[in-house]
């Protein structure tokens, strides 16, 4: 073997460690950034949910320009405020932090696996939350406000959130654990 081949092998673990450290730092910074940008994140969720609900509703559904609020009807018949606890932002932050910690401390997981599991879980959690918000808006505007909101938000929405986020976590863990080959490269 040539001398150059030995040198490149010696550099691989250092590069691998740098990649893990970089991904861990970016993931943790992404989690902090998402947390600090909670208002714009909720505003984006409100706009996307209102747009989707307006496509299938018989009533006009729209979102405020600078507030995470979904309005139904013109004049406004009912309004929904997307609070931090109603947002998928908290789940996204949890997956950012978990992925950062796994990147740094979880040497048995490939970095590609961590990134793929993170991306799939966050998108899945966001879609589940959009489905929940659509359910609440459409049920509350289609049925009576009190019955529609109580049934869709407190019962069906809570059920969808708990089991949907648990499903996103299981998908995340499944995607991480699926690769059993030894870690050789990032």
Question: Does residue 184 sit within a domain?
Answer: no
* Angle value at C-alpha 10, between 5 and 11, nearest 5 degrees: 100
Q: pLDDT for 13-40, tens place per residue? A: 555 688 888 888 888 888 898 888 888 8
Question: Does residue 132 sit within a domain?
Answer: yes
pTM (predicted TM-score)? 0.76
Question: Does residue 63 sit within a domain?
Answer: yes
Domain count, the chain: 1
Q: Which two tokens stand for residue 87?
A: 């947002």
Taking the alpha carbons of 136, 130, 61, 76 in that order, is the dihedral positive or negative? positive
Q: 70 — phi, psi (to 5°)? A: -110, 125
In the block, tokens 């979880």 appear at: 106
Question: Does residue 182 sit within a domain?
Answer: no
Q: pLDDT for 72-130, tens place per residue? A: 877 877 788 888 878 888 888 999 998 988 888 877 788 888 889 999 999 998 888 88
Residue 80 pairs in a beta bridge with 70
Q: What's the domain range around 15?
A: 3-177
Residues 121, 169: contact at Cβ < 8 Å?
yes
Question: Does residue 186 sit within a domain?
Answer: no
């Amino acid at each position: 073997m040539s001398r150059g081949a030995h040198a490149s092998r010696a550099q691989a673990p250092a590069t691998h460690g740098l990649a893990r450290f970089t991904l861990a730092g970016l993931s943790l910074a992404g989690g902090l950034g998402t947390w600090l940008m909670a208002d714009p994140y909720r505003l984006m969720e409100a706009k996307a949910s209102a747009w989707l609900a307006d496509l299938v509703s018989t009533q006009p559904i729209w979102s405020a320009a600078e507030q995470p609020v979904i309005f139904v009807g013109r004049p406004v018949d009912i309004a929904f405020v997307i609070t931090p606890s109603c947002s998928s932002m908290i789940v996204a932050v949890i997956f950012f932090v978990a992925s950062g910690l796994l990147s740094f401390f979880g040497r048995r997981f490939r970095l590609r696996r961590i990134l793929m599991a993170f991306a799939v879980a966050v998108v899945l959690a966001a879609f589940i939350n959009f489905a929940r918000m659509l359910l609440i808006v459409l049920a509350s505007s289609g049925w009576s406000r009190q019955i529609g909101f109580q049934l869709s938000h407190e019962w069906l929405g809570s059920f969808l959130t708990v089991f949907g986020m648990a499903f996103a976590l299981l998908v995340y863990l499944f995607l991480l654990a699926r690769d059993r080959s030894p870690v050789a490269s990032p």
